Amino acid sequence: MKQLSVFLENRVGRLEEVLDVLAQEEINILSLSMADTSEYGMLRLLVSTPEKGRAALKERGFSATLTEVLAVKMAHKVGELRRVLKLLYEAGINVEYMYALHTKTDEAAMAIKPSDLGTAVTVLQKAGVTFYEADGE
């Protein structure tokens, strides 16, 4: 999936400005994560139309990029996240960051940014792990 990443100054109202742009463009937010320091923040979003979102934000002066991430489906059970991450660890793949995804099902889901996307997909698929596609399926 393509993730929309937005670099933000850490000041009152800046996040609202991003959300306003997305709302004006009728772009639905599927999931998001925000990390911050005292001076800036990194907003990571999975949205309904990432290319349109990036273009709209850039037009309004935001620093916005697209990054490929894996939207991994997992069973809701003890140790499942550990099992998935162990597969990556054993293949020598670093997890640069991850965050939980909301789903309409009873299963768990994580957005994972691996250091080697192609190998991560191969390793996880061989182990029977499945992914959400860009259309939410």
- Gap between the Cα atoms of 75 and 106, Å rounded: 8
Distance CA 128, CA 107 (A): 15
Return the pLDDT at 137. Answer: 45
C-alpha separations of 92 from 50, 68, 74, 121 in Å = 29, 19, 21, 13
Beta bridge partners of 41: 8, 36
> From the first residue on, what is the mean pLDDT of each consecutive set of 10 residues in the chain (137 residues)?
93 93 96 86 94 97 96 92 96 95 82 96 96 68
The reply to whether the predicted model has a pTM over 0.75 is yes
Dig out the tokens for 78 from the structure. Answer: 């003890």
- Confidence (pLDDT) at 67: 95
